[in-house]
Amino acid sequence: MKEGFNEAMKNGLKKWRFLPLVAAMAFILSGCGEPFLSTLQPAGEVAQKQFNLMMLSVAIMVLVIIVVSIVYVIAITKFRRSKLGEDFIPKQVEGSHRLEVIWTVIPIILLLILAVPTVALTFELGDQSGAEAEDEEGNREALVVDVRANLYWWEFSYPDQGIVTAQELVVPTDQNVYFNVIASDVKHSFWIPAVGGKIDTNVDNMNKFYLSFDSERAEEANNLFYGKCAELCGPSHALMDFKVKTMGEEDFNQWVTAMQEAGEAEQQFESDTVADGYAVFEDQGCIGCHAINPTQQIGTSTGPNLTTFGEREHVAGILDNKDSEEVQAENIKNWIRNSPDLKPGNKMPVYNQDDLSDEDLDALTEFLMSLKVNNE
């Protein structure tokens, strides 16, 4: 019996040759999914380190599976009763101390190989000291974003810059961005799969973590990543998507400046329809929940801030505008009329024909589409 086992062990060791296979597998895996969503196409340092740890664990686990499979296949082919005959009485072996020690010690070693980088990376990713670093003038060096999760929408505010946006997180590439996350109603979880693991947005306390966005990989994803809510939060948990726009540091600084200026600028309307739309926006009380100024209602609004609404790629995080103004207008109207069907359980009131005439809706849509900060 032992002979057979040793033979199997030898075969198992030969399978170290399969390590290139594991590397190949990692390569194949990385073809899985879309670059804007898949954890297998890591687009930042955090995701990359997590991916590397995954691949290390996969390699160890594949090794275990191969050894088990070999012993297994030999056992169930060699020791069939149909081959051995009904009368064969196997030797009633009690066990083997040597073997028990072997298959206790080897797994422990394998687990240590995995445990050491696991612990190291746990502390590395848990290190938030970068968020505190200050330059000579006492200004914070790193970018900090406060994330507030709400029933089916996300608010992103930039405390040091004094601005706020929603549904579309805007971040600079190639630097650590520090996030403070919290939920304002029920627990959600903040996840940008391609850029790094998730962290829960608790209702009790603020959680902190950081991510970084790699410029090259971001380009492959057209500088737009998909973000998800990863904690069951109600009927529209599945639709609580957000998007992440990435840009170089310079562009980002320009965006921040544009936002800050928009906060101070007087409301100006490009056409009469837009002005009419603004009147509808005020009359219908939209403005009660949706600020259109990037410096107002930070951390307190009950609906997404709409300052950059006209520039967003999606309406409500789910209706794709496909870079077309017609589609965008359709999406906006569809959302205002049918929001309970599009996102069941969301907090926005319904506006049917009686509440809001088609003409008013057209004007409102025009106005909403004009909400931009980057319109040079």
- Torsion sign, CA atoms 145, 242, 155, 363: positive
Least separation, in Å, of the C-beta of 212 and other proteins?
Answer: 14
Q: Does 24 bind other proteins (CB under 8 A)?
A: no
Return the range that interacts with other proteins (CB under 8 A); candidates 9-17, 215-223, 226-234, 359-367: 226-234
Residues of this chain, 335-354, that bind other proteins according to CB under 8 A = 344-345
Q: Please name the residue that has the structure tokens 């304002």.
A: 184
Site string for other proteins, 189-218 (x = CB under 8 A): x-x-xx-xxxxx-xxxx-xx----------
Q: Which is nearer to other proteins, 105 or 133 (CB)?
A: 105
Residues of this chain, 46-85, that bind other proteins according to CB under 8 A = 47, 49-51, 53-54, 57-58, 60-61, 64-65, 68-69, 71-72, 74-76, 79-81, 84
Rounded distance between C-alpha atoms, residue 66 and residue 69, angstroms: 5
Rounded distance between C-alpha atoms, residue 38 and residue 34, angstroms: 5
What SS3 class is residue 371? coil
Chain centroid to CA 298: how far? Answer: 23
Closest CA to 163 of 143, 182, 181, 183: 143
Rounded distance between C-alpha atoms, residue 171 and residue 161, angstroms: 13
Residues of this chain, 99-128, that bind other proteins according to CB under 8 A = 99-100, 103-104, 107-108, 111, 114-115, 118-119, 121-127
Return the range that interacts with other proteins (CB under 8 A); candidates 167-175, 186-194, 263-271, 275-283: 186-194
Rounded distance between C-alpha atoms, residue 162 and residue 216, angstroms: 29
Number of residues that bind other proteins (CB under 8 A): 98
Q: Which amino acid is at 275?
A: A
Strand 242-247 versus strand 168-172 pairing type:
parallel
Rounded distance between C-alpha atoms, residue 364 and residue 353, angstroms: 14
Q: Which is nearer to other proteins, 97 or 376 (CB)?
A: 97
Q: Does 27 bind other proteins (CB under 8 A)?
A: no
Least separation, in Å, of the C-beta of 99 and other proteins?
Answer: 7
- Torsion sign, CA atoms 307, 313, 317, 318: positive
Least separation, in Å, of the C-beta of 90 and other proteins?
Answer: 4
Residues of this chain, 272-331, that bind other proteins according to CB under 8 A = 318, 320
Closest CA to 49 of 220, 210, 172: 210
Q: Which is nearer to other proteins, 193 or 294 (CB)?
A: 193
Rounded distance between C-alpha atoms, residue 157 and residue 223, angstroms: 20
Rounded distance between C-alpha atoms, residue 173 and residue 148, angstroms: 22
Least separation, in Å, of the C-beta of 26 and other proteins?
Answer: 12
Return the range that interacts with other proteins (CB under 8 A); candidates 140-148, 223-231, 299-307, 326-334: 223-231
Least separation, in Å, of the C-beta of 180 and other proteins?
Answer: 11
Q: Does 90 bind other proteins (CB under 8 A)?
A: yes
